[in-house]
Amino acid sequence: MDMYLLLFLFVLILRPLLVFAAWGYTDDGSNYVIDVGSKLVFKVSKTNGDINSIVYGGTEYQGYSGKNSHIESGLGRSTVTITSYSSPSYLIKVTVTYGTLVHYIVARYGQNNIYLLTNKGDVSVPASRFILRLKGNILPHDSSMPDFYDDGGAAIEASDVTQSPHGYTKSKHYQGSNYGRVMDFDYVGKTTGRVGIWLIRSNHEKASGGPFFRSLVRRSSSDADDLYEILFYSMGHTDPQRWGLQGPYVLSFTDGETPKKELFARNANWSWFDTLGIKGWVAGSARGYVAGVGIANMKNGYTYTVALSNPDHQYWGVAAGGGGAYTIKSVVPGTYKLTVYKGEYEVYTTSITAKAGSATSLNTIKPDSDPSDVTAIWRIGDWDGTPGGFLNFESTPYKPTYMHPSDPRLSSWDPEDFTVGKTATSSFPGYMWKDVNNDHLVYFKLTAAQITSEKTIRIGITEAYANGRPIIAVNGWNSPLSSASTQGGTRSLTVGTYRGNNHIYSFTVPASAFLTDANGWNILKISVISGSGNTGYLSAGISIDCVDLY
Ligand SMILES: *[C@@H]1O[C@H](CO)[C@@H](O)[C@H](O)[C@H]1NC(C)=O
């Protein structure tokens, strides 16, 4: 054998070793040290499953103030095991078991990603989030960011809403201008231009709140940057907590660019997880989909969304403009409530059954509960399940979704009285509080023919805080007291969300309540009542969708 051949064989033997030189894991006594075989090396504590080191391109990004990245604020002593796979790909899976919770941390050869999955067994282990904690002053931040707590800010509500020295209100809850609703974003994160750090959300099939849910997803201060995957969030939630497997959600590192679209929940092909023994995993082949040919009578200027929900799962798809065709992908088989939303307002519901491996096809749906189908004598705002268009909600993204209602950038919540036919919709308050801008007056005229019969005044709300609900007076007539609606938990209007349960308060006003002089101005007074609530913006409040009379 000549020397060249020997050398060739030698190289051939060495080649796999060279290719896989870095890929794999070691045990340093305290941690599993996982090298993805590219630019990412991370450590998982063998004691509690914390990710306590993330080195990308030679730089450590993980942690501040001695804190790690983990579920909740860390799980405590857990059973942590590690498994390597060579099929269907080179993979490493760390399994962290803590009581009824099983959390998975997965690496794939050559991918600068950490794939995360979390199975919440029951209420015995609180699991509202995964938090990625990053060192401060690596990722960019500036005072214009609603979720950046400026140095020197002072708490103005609880400990999580502050006012900066320059006056802007700040909170980790204020994501309206960054990310909006769950359906509006695929990932959260930041880039320095040279390094991008992204947390790509899961499909949220076992999260809560539906497509329009808003919650915290990012936070920063000069000494810390956090990214969150929200598994269940107590603020403004109206949905039950769901149990079982959430994920994959993916921590992805790049050289500055945005993350790969193939990792987005709506695009990903996760078939390579099928054989990894993930508790609660449902393979693509065991899922079905729902396809609707269209929605009749769609109103111009609105996005229609079709959502599925049952106690175990939730999904959604956006209807195409024009005919309203829609597809809802990767649905776990089961019986679901299907809801058609115009904007964020439920205009139709039905029950459907999704089957494995096939489509559930639906004929054209004709919405039957759009309040705007009633011809009103007058209407302030529009029925879309949001306070959009009202005072402080004139521009998108809506300012109160990324600032506190006390923020100096907002207009006074107590504008002048509203005169139908004269005052702009944008001068009607989108939020009303018992203690801030109560007893708003609306002036309107009715013709001689109109005052011969009783009328209905509807006030639609999208959320209420502290059991706030409206009552009305028309001239000298007073409506009966109204009852509280079922709404989201803890805070809402002050933490950047108006998204609760849409509810219409309908008042029948007797003809005798109206002025007999058709030239006279009737006065409608709208008041918020409640026996609960605190003071100021934490007094009982409502978010208004629409007010009309017919
Ligand atoms: C997902 O990937 C697997 C493995 O590469 C492939 O067999 C399957 O067809 C893919 N599924 C889809 C829906 O593209």
pLDDT at 8 over 70: no
Is 34:22 a contact under the CB 8 Å cutoff?
Answer: no
Is 302:373 a contact under the CB 8 Å cutoff?
Answer: no
Domains and CATH numbers, the chain: 26-273 (2.70.98.10), 284-369 (2.60.40.1120), 372-549 (2.60.120.260)
State the distance from the centre of ligand 1 to the C-alpha of 271, rounded, in angstroms: 6
User: Which residue type is seen at 100?
Assistant: T
Is 389:426 a contact under the CB 8 Å cutoff?
Answer: yes
What is the distance between the alpha carbons of residues 306 and 51, in angstroms, rounded to a whole number?
Answer: 37
pLDDT at 21 over 60: no
What is the distance between the alpha carbons of residues 234 and 126, in angstroms, rounded to a whole number?
Answer: 11
387: closest CA among 501, 499, 527?
Answer: 499
Question: Confidence class of residue 163 from pLDDT cuts 50, 70 and 90?
Answer: very high
CA nearest ligand 1 atom 1, residue:
269
Helix, strand, or coil here: 4? helix
Question: Confidence class of residue 35 from pLDDT cuts 50, 70 and 90?
Answer: very high
What is the mean pLDDT of the segment spanning 39-45?
98
Helix, strand, or coil here: 199? strand
Question: Confidence class of residue 9 from pLDDT cuts 50, 70 and 90?
Answer: very low
Helix, strand, or coil here: 498? coil
- Confirm whether pTM is higher than 0.75: yes
Nearest-5° Cα angle at 191, 185 to 194: 145
Cβ-proximal residues to 502 (8 Å cutoff; 6+ apart), any chain:
344, 345, 346, 385, 460, 461, 462, 545
pLDDT at 506 over 60: yes
User: Phi and psi for 356 in degrees, rounded to 5?
Assistant: -75, 140
User: Which residue type is seen at 132?
Assistant: L
pLDDT at 2 over 80: no
What is the mean pLDDT of the segment spanning 476-488?
97
pLDDT in tens, 294-331: 999 999 999 999 999 999 999 999 999 989 999 999 99
pLDDT in tens, 204-241: 999 999 999 999 999 999 999 999 999 999 898 889 89
Confidence (pLDDT) at 172: 98
Least confident of 147-156, 236-245, 419-428, 511-520: 236-245
Q: Quote the tokens at residue 472.
A: 């009305």
CA nearest ligand 1 atom 7, residue:
271
Within 6 Å (CB) of ligand 1, which residues are found? 269, 271
State the distance from the centre of ligand 1 to the C-alpha of 273, rounded, in angstroms: 12
Q: Quote the tokens at residue 17.
A: 């070793």
pLDDT at 44 over 90: yes
Atom number in ligand 1 closest to CA 272? 4
Confidence (pLDDT) at 48: 98
- Buried b / exposed e over 351-367, threshold 16 CB at 10 Å, is ebebeeeeebebeebeb
State the distance from the centre of ligand 1 to the C-alpha of 329, rounded, in angstroms: 15
User: Which residue type is seen at 467?
Assistant: N
User: Phi and psi for 392 in degrees, rounded to 5?
Assistant: 75, 0
Cβ-proximal residues to 339 (8 Å cutoff; 6+ apart), any chain:
306, 307, 308, 309, 346, 348, 349
